[in-house]
Structure 1
Amino acid sequence: MASMLELRTPGFNPCSVKYSPYYDSRLAVAASANYGIVGNGRLFCLGLSAAGVQIEKAFDTNDALYDLAWSEINENQLVVACGDGSIKLFDLGVNDFPVMNFHEHKRETFSVCWNPITKDTFISSSWDGTVKIWSPTRHESLKTLPIGCCTYSTAFSPSNPAIISAVSSDSHIRIFDLRTPVSAKYHLITMIPVHAPPSGPTLPRLADGRTYAGGMPAEILTHDWNKYNDTVIATGGVDRLIRTFDIRNPTGGPLAVMAGHEYAVKRVAWSPHASDILVSASYDMTVRVWSDDSSSVPAAPGTIRTGAEIGLMNRHTEFATGVDWCLFGSGGWVASVGWDERVLLWDAHGLLRR
C-alpha cells in the first residue's frame, strides 16, 4: 500500500465517512461518544494539506451520529443522521448550531443520502421502519415511504432522481419509483429477497462449482448502486457475504457473491472509477477491495460469479464502520473509519494493479 494518512477522534467513535463531491481535499466524519450507545455526537469536517489530515471544523450534537451526506447544491453544507431520530443540516460557515433541523422519525435515523441528479432533495431511513424524502428548505418531509421494519440504508439511483432503494432487517431490497401512483404500494415497484434461492427448476452454481441455495434470512445493513450499471446493486449484512443483484430480475438471485469477511459487513461502496470494483468495511476490523468479476467473459447460464478479493487493509483495531472513495484523481484513494477512534486515508492503487 503506497501511503496512509491518519487522524484520531479522541472520545468519539466514527460511524460514517464521506468525501466531498466538490473537493478532493475535504471530507467529513460522523461520530458518536460511547460507540453510539449513549452520549453526544460530533461531526468532523476534515481537510487535507501538506501537513496531513486536519480538523477544519467540528459540530457537537446532543445524540449519536450514524451517517452523513454532503449537500449537492451547497459545497459548505451537509446533513447528519442522529440517534434521537432527527436530521440536522450544518453549514461550515455557521458556527456551532445547525441551520435546519428535521425531526419526524420516531426512532434512530440511520442513513441519509442526497439526490445526485436533481440535487433538490435528500432521503433518510430509520429504525422506525420508514424512509422519508426531504427538501433542505422545508422542516416537514415531502413524502414517507413505509418499509415496516428497521431500515438501515437508503439511496437514490445514480441515474434517475425518482428511483429510491432501501435495505432492511427483513432481508429485502425495496425499490420505489416516485413516478408511479402512490395508491396501493406507496410507489413500491420491486422487492428482492436477498437470501432466497433463485427461482427456476434447478439451483444455480457458483463459479467454483458449488450449488447456490441462498441462505437464512439475515439483516441487510448496507447497499450501494453501481455507478456504471444503473440496474445493479451491491448488498452486505450480518451473514458476511456481499452480493450483487440486477433489479430488473428480482427473483433471479444474485449476479455475484463475494465471501471473505469474518463478521458482518457494515458498509459497501462501488468505485466511482471502475464498474467492477467495490470496497467494504466490516466488524471483522478489515476493509477489503473486491472485483465482482463482471469485466471478464459473461457468466455461463445457470452460474453465479464468485467475485475476488483483490486487496485487504487491516490497520483498524476495532470494528470498521465506514468507507468511501474519493471522486477525484486516478481512482485509488479511500477513506475508512472505525470504532478505534481513527480515520485512515489510504491509497489503494497498489491493490488495484491486478
Structure 2
Amino acid sequence: MEEVVVDGEDEEEMIAALYDKAGTEALRHRIAAEESSTITHRAWDPRNIDESEELECDLRAYSLLQYLGLDWPCLSFDIIPDDLGGGRTTFPHSLVLVCGSQAESTNKNALNLIRLSDLGAVKLDDDEEDDDDRVMEDDEEEEEDDEREPIVERCFFDHPGCVNRVAASAERGVVATWSEDGHVRVFDFRETASAYCQHGISRRPNGRILTSSRVLGGGNTISGYALAWSSLARNKLATGNDSGSLSIFHVDTANVPVLSFATDKSLEDIAWSPTETSVLVTVGCDQSIRVFDDRHSNGPMLTRPNAHTNDINALSWNSAVSYLLATAGDDGFLQIWDLRAFGTHAAPVGTFNYHQKPITALQWDPHDEAALICSSEDHSITHWDLAVEDDDTDQTTADATLAGLPPQLLFVHQGLHYPKDVKHHPQIPNLVISSDYNGLSVYIPALAGKERATD
C-alpha cells in the first residue's frame, strides 16, 4: 500500500473537516450551556415605560399573531363555534366571530359576521429564531402552506345605534345585542352562520344582508352593557341596564321579561352558573357582587357590598371549578372569590394589583382551570396562572417577585389601543382574541410549559 505523507497543516485541516459536523453541534450546546450559567436574569416591568419610548414586537413571543383592521371600533364581540371540533393545535387555524361597531353615525352601525381562515404560525427570520425553533421544511408543499396569507370573509347586518355588547347563544346564529338606543335585540341568521362555520365551502354570503331582529323589553329605552345567555337553559337571556334593572327573558316564548330585579346603580356584567340553571351573578357601579336565583323574586340571595373600591366592570365564572368567581373593575384589581364561603363579609381568596388603569374584560380559560385573561385601558392584555404559588422557588418566578411583579402574571400582550373585550377560543387552546379601537388582535403566546401548536 502506498503511503501518503501530508504535512502538519494539511493534517490539521483533514481532522477539522472530519470532525466538523459531529463537533460543531456539541460545541454549540457546550457554549450555550456555559453562557446560560453566567446569565443574570432580570424581570422587565412593562408598566415603567417612558412616553418617549416605543416598543417593538418580538415575534419569538408568539406562535400566532395577526391583526385585523375594522371600519369602526368594536366594543364587544363573541365567538361562534365552527364544525372543525375542539382541541385544535395544528396550523393553519380558522375561526368565526360576530362583532359590533361604534360608528360615528348611528345609521352606519352594523353587526359583523367574520370568518378568518388560513391563520398560519409566526414565521421568524433567521436572526430572530432560536436554535431550538429552527424547523427544516421537508417539501415545497409545507413551505407554501406556511406562506399563505390569511383569508377574511365578512358579511354584515344593519344595527340601530352603537353596539354596546354582543352575546352569541349556544344556538348557532342566534345573537343578542345591547344597543345605545336602549334596546336589546335578538338577531337570527342561522343559515348564514352555518355557511360561515362549515369547512370546505367555496362561496359564502358576503356584504350587506337584510335580516330582521326582535326587540326585547317592551318600552324600556335605557341603555345597558350587561348581557349573558345561560349555557344550560336554552334561549334563556339575562340583561342589565344603566339604571340597575336586571331582567331575565325566555327568548323563544316572549319578548317581555319573565322576571325583573332592581338594584341601586348600573349593572356592568352578568354571569350564569355553569352548574345551576337558575343561578346568576351580577356586578356593577355600586361595587357590589350579587348572587340571584331566578326561582325567587324577592331579590338577591347573597350580596357582597364594597367588593372593589370602584366600579366593577367584569366578572367570569369558572366553568371547571364552579365555586370560583373572578371580578375586576376601575380600580385595576383582579380578585378571585370562593363561592363556598361567600357573603356580606367574604374576603377574596386572591387579589392581584398589576393594571394601572381600569380592567375592561376578563375570562377564565376553558382549557385550563387555573388560568385567565384580562384586558385593560392601559393598552394591554394580561395572562394569569393562579396555580403559581407566591413562594415558588422557580428562578423566573423569583425574578418577577423581586421586580415587584405578581408571580402569577404569565404573559403581557401590548401594543393595543384601549382594548375593550377579550376571549379565549373555546375550540383552539391558547388562542386569544381581543378587540380595541383599531380592530381585532388574534394571537397564541409561545409560553414555556404550554404545549406549542405544531405546523
TM-score (norm 1): 0.82
Over aligned residue pairs, what C-alpha RMSD do you find?
2.4
Match of 1:43 among 111, 124, 131: 111
What one-letter code is carried by the residue in structure 1 that aligns with 2:317? W
* Preserved CA contact (<8 Å) 1:46 1:53: no
TM-score (norm 2): 0.65
Q: What's the % identity of the aligned pairs?
A: 16
What one-letter code is carried by the residue in structure 1 that aligns with 2:66? L
Q: Does the C-alpha gap of structure 1 residues 352 and 267 become closer, same or farther in structure 2, counting only changes over 3 Å? A: farther
* Preserved CA contact (<8 Å) 1:17 1:335: no
1:271 counterpart = 2:331: no
* Preserved CA contact (<8 Å) 1:134 1:141: yes
Match of 2:242 among 102, 127, 147: 127
* Preserved CA contact (<8 Å) 1:25 1:48: yes
In the alignment, what sits opposite 2:354? 260
Per-residue deviation, residues 168-197 of structure 1 (Å, max 9, x unmatched): 101011000123x32xx33x11112354xx
Alpha-carbon deviation of 1:166? 0.5
Per-residue deviation, residues 216-260 of structure 1 (Å, max 9, x unmatched): x31001101011111211111000010011123222311111221
* Correspondences of 1:122-161 after superposition (within 5 Å): 122-137=237-252, 138-161=254-277
What one-letter code is carried by the residue in structure 1 that aligns with 2:414? N
SS of 2:447 mapped into structure 1: helix
SS of 2:340 mapped into structure 1: coil
What one-letter code is carried by the residue in structure 2 that aligns with 1:246? D
Distance in 1 (CA, whole Å) between partners of 2:155 and 2:272 is 28
In the alignment, what sits opposite 2:302? 190
Per-residue deviation, residues 285-344 of structure 1 (Å, max 9, x unmatched): 1011012237899xxxxxxxx66210011131x211000111113x2001000022x111
Q: Does the C-alpha gap of structure 1 residues 53 and 237 become closer, same or farther in structure 2, counting only changes over 3 Å? A: farther
Q: Does the C-alpha gap of structure 1 residues 164 and 307 become closer, same or farther in structure 2, counting only changes over 3 Å? A: farther
Name the larger-Rg structure: 2
Greater shift in the superposed pair: 266-275 or 144-153: 144-153
Comparing both structures, which one devotes a greater share of its residues to helix? 2
Match of 1:229 among 321, 346, 349: 321
In the alignment, what sits opposite 1:310? 410
* Correspondences of 1:193-232 after superposition (within 5 Å): 193-195=305-307, 217-232=309-324
In the alignment, what sits opposite 1:13? 73
What one-letter code is carried by the residue in structure 1 that aligns with 2:179? C
Per-residue deviation, residues 78-101 of structure 1 (Å, max 9, x unmatched): 111111111112233473333322
Alpha-carbon deviation of 1:58? 1.2
Match of 1:324 among 423, 446, 454: 423
* Preserved CA contact (<8 Å) 1:83 1:110: no
Match of 1:334 among 425, 432, 435: 432
In the alignment, what sits opposite 1:4? 65
Q: Does the C-alpha gap of structure 1 residues 62 and 352 become closer, same or farther in structure 2, counting only changes over 3 Å? A: farther
* Correspondences of 1:52-131 after superposition (within 5 Å): 52=150, 54-72=152-170, 74-92=171-189, 93=191, 95-104=209-218, 105-131=220-246
Distance in 1 (CA, whole Å) between partners of 2:424 and 2:373 is 8
In the alignment, what sits opposite 2:196? none
* Preserved CA contact (<8 Å) 2:389 2:408: no
* Preserved CA contact (<8 Å) 2:229 2:237: yes
- In structure 1, stretches of 5+ residues that fail to align are 196-214, 298-305
Q: Does the C-alpha gap of structure 1 residues 141 and 308 become closer, same or farther in structure 2, counting only changes over 3 Å? A: same
What one-letter code is carried by the residue in structure 1 that aligns with 2:70? T
- In structure 2, stretches of 5+ residues that fail to align are 1-61, 84-93, 119-148, 193-208, 392-405
Distance in 2 (CA, whole Å) between partners of 1:145 and 1:118 is 20
Alpha-carbon deviation of 1:38? 6.8
